[in-house]
Amino acid sequence: MFHYERNYNRYRLSLVVIALKVFAVPCLLAQAALSLSLAPPVSSALKWLVIFPVSIIVYWTTRNTLWTLRDKRNAARLGAQPIPKVYGRWIGGLDLMVYFARGQEENYGTLEFRKFFEERGATTLNFQIMWHDLIMTIDDGHIKHVLSTGFSHFEKGPRGRWIMEGVFGNGIFNRDGDVWKMHRSMTRPFFSRDRISDYVTIGKHTDVALRVLSKLSSRSKAVDVQDLFARFTIDAAAEFLFGTQLNSLHAPLPEPGRSKLGPKGSQAVDADDFGSFVQAFDEAQVKMTERFHLDPFWRLTELFKDGMKEPMATVRGYLEPVVQRALDDHAAAKRKGVQLDQDECTLLQYLVANTDDKTVLRDELVNILIAGRDTTAALLTFTVYLLATHPEVFRHLREEVLAVCGPDMPPTYETIRDMKYLRAVVNEALRLFPPVPINQRMCGAEPAVFPPSKPGGPSYYVPAETDIIYVPLLLHRRKDLWGDDAEEFNPQRWLDEDRVKKFVQNPMIFVPFNAGPRICLGQQFAYNEASYFLARLLQKFSAIDLAPEAAPQGSLPPKEWKNEPGRKGVEKCWPKAAIILFAKGGLWARFTPVEGA
């Protein structure tokens, strides 16, 4: 608790520093100029209502102009040119910040950024917000440089770490440099091929989830599959990585017509301990996303109450017994002289053998659970959504599953590898709905240069310590990279030799699991888990139909979307993002069981 309170007090102090920097410095300079001038004294009202506000605008406009000139000189020195800039209509580009924040709350998540790129005919832009640079890119070449070829020049950075530490703490997703390398080296062995190819754990929890689904389907009852998949993935991840049985699939599910709109999905009216944990977990992620959009002003909106404190207290309280049990088991084993065998132990057992710091252990659990629960649940949710809205793809996929596995045989590593259309369906779902639709890095202490993304194209100058936002969701829907049908669900594109050849030549056009040294360690586990579950699902059910009438009020896309071009005009669910992509209010559907299954 002390560590958490200390961080929050640091946020408050940073707000004071920002206020002094933005307002006090120009006002003090104006006051000094007045004191040294020979003009008659001015009234306090004139100073506060006119002179000081004008001095702030003049100071920052001048400073921004000098920064621009400096960047032009540095860009010329490095043989690059400045990135095209986007200016807002309001002072300091505050209207851009408002647009981004409203887009998160009211619109189609990250899709709302696309208009800026289309209007300017660019794939990388520099937004001017509060007289600072914010680079946003959907350029495959520039994303490649940030994530891979120029990896050493970019990091999470202090801004990203500060905002995310309320949820991620000191975990693997919120650290840079040697600390990040240490976390990654500890975690990597637990995602080896031998471990992720063992379907015993995945199969056990798949069977439980399908029994729940079969029971509901036998009564033609709609189910929020987003909630179901989140329970399945967290149960599987908890046992696979921590040796812990959460049994969330045995807890009450949200009911059609009775559930509420939760922070991300649906919410059961009478939530149990697990339901409270999930809602707090989701609420913390939503709050973290709001902080990104409102930075630095979120410190002002949370000046007297930390919006992250209550939900994260619930999350930590839920995980406390898991951590304590692992510590107790380790202490008991140590007393008996039992040695840890890394080939046999879980990730949590390995962590406990190396530290007894509960904060460190909880942070790591939160990081891994977000990766293990939310990303694969998002993949399954939007794959089922696309199958429900494309019955011809559902039929084709089911035919392949039955041809390879029959009506009952569980899939194996080899049979999953043989089901090419299944992999194509999963890839196409990842392309249209990447679980992490937007991500962030920061340029290091020295300026960097984005190399030309196309032959003959310009090199772009990246100022030092500049935040960089890259948007896989928009990258994956670029028509110049994916064709005129880029916004259509077409798994066949992954089986067409010419199209596959283009992807093989430039794999950076498809980055659902990140890329480079920080590529997702659980990528293959997610593929295996999702593929196994989908194969078993199609063995048991012969049709999927969306059930929008079962969703909580406010879940469905606004009627105005129907007049919009592209996917926005045809969506039957409301895609939003809070770190991870999700369907607002959940994805409600009915499943038709196979006769006799």
For the segment 430-465, what is each residue's pLDDT rounded down to a tens digit?
A: 999 999 999 999 999 999 999 999 888 999 999 999
Residue 99 confidence (pLDDT): 86
256: CB partners within 8 A, 6+ apart: 221, 222, 223, 224, 547, 549, 550, 588
Please give the helix or strand (H or E) that residue 81 lies within, else none: strand 81-82
Predicted pLDDT of residue 267: 84
The token pair at 364 is 């790591």
515: Cβ–Cβ under 8 A, 6 or more apart, which residues?
A: 143, 144, 147, 148, 507, 508
Per-residue pLDDT in tens (0 to 9) along the chain, 597 residues: 334 444 556 666 777 777 777 788 888 888 888 888 777 788 888 888 888 889 988 988 888 889 889 999 999 999 999 999 999 999 888 899 888 887 777 778 788 899 999 999 999 999 998 888 999 999 999 999 999 999 999 998 888 887 888 888 888 888 888 888 888 888 888 887 677 667 899 999 999 999 999 999 988 899 999 999 999 999 998 898 888 888 999 988 999 988 888 888 898 877 777 888 888 989 999 998 888 888 877 777 887 888 888 999 999 888 899 899 989 998 998 888 888 777 778 888 888 888 888 888 888 888 888 888 899 999 999 999 999 999 999 999 999 999 999 999 999 999 999 999 999 999 999 999 999 999 999 999 999 999 999 888 999 999 999 999 999 999 999 999 999 999 999 999 999 999 999 999 999 999 999 999 999 888 998 999 999 999 999 999 999 999 999 999 999 999 999 988 889 999 999 999 988 999 999 999 999 999 865
- One-character DSSP codes across 345-367: S-HHHHHHHH---HHHHHHHHHH
Q: Return the structure tokens found at 249.
A: 């699939």
| Phi/psi-derived region of residue 36, left when phi > 0, alpha when psi is between -120 and 50, beta in every other case | alpha
How would you class 49 by CB atoms within 10 Å of its CB: exposed for 0-12, middle for 13-18, buried for 19 or more?
exposed
CB 147 within 8 A of CB 515: yes
CATH number for the domain formed by residue range(s) 162-593: 1.10.630.10
405 annotated as ligand-binding: no
Q: 10 Å Cβ neighbour count for 157? A: 18
- The phi and psi torsions of 3 (rounded to 5 degrees) equal -60, -40
**β-pair partners for 442:** 155, 467
Q: Of 6, 363, 430, which is closest to residue 179 (Cα–Cα)?
A: 363
Q: Please give the pLDDT value at position 181.
A: 87
pTM: 0.91
How far is it, in rounded angstroms, from Cα 566 to Cα 150? 34
Q: What is the pLDDT of residue 9?
A: 63
C-alpha atoms less than 13 angstroms from C-alpha of 158 in its C-beta half-sphere: 8
Label the pairing between strands 467-470 and 132-137. Answer: parallel
3-state secondary structure of 420: helix
Domain range list for the chain: 1-37+45-77, 162-593
What lies within 8 Å, CB to CB, of 430 at 6+ separation is: 379, 510, 512
Best CA proximity match to 577, nearest among 293, 364, 366, 384: 293
